[in-house]
Amino acid sequence: MKELIEFIATSLVDDPTQVRVSQENRGGKVYLKLKVAKEDMGRVIGRQGRVANAMRMLLNVSASRQGKQAYLDVEDPK
């Protein structure tokens, strides 16, 4: 699942070297945190969050096939 989000994010951004995805497993739940360069935040989130929601939907499909729940958080770069 982490690789899926990395692939999608690196395809969207101008600077793929700044894409960072961290994964944490708790029980049957997977929590992913996506960080990109500040200039690429708009590309990853999209208008009204459509791109981020599409990424979450794909993540949920992948997770449900494995019998898990997954959550994606797009974090502000600092």
Q: Domain ranges in the chain?
A: 2-75
Task: Retrieve residue 57's tokens.
Answer: 């939907």
For the segment 67-73, the average pLDDT, to the nearest whole number, is 94
- Note the maximum CA span of the chain: 35
Predicted confidence band of residue 65 (pLDDT cuts 50, 70, 90): very high
H-type helices in 1-78, by residue range?
2-12, 41-45, 50-65
pLDDT at 25 over 80: yes
The reported pTM is 0.89
pLDDT at 77 over 80: no
Q: Answer for the pair 2, 29: CB distance below 8 angstroms, yes or no.
A: no
Q: Answer whether CATH 3.30.300.20 is correct for domain 2-75.
A: yes
Query: What percent of the chain shows pLDDT beyond 90?
Result: 86
For the segment 53-74, the average pLDDT, to the nearest whole number, is 94
Contacts with 47 (C-beta within 8 Å, 6 or more apart), sequence order: none
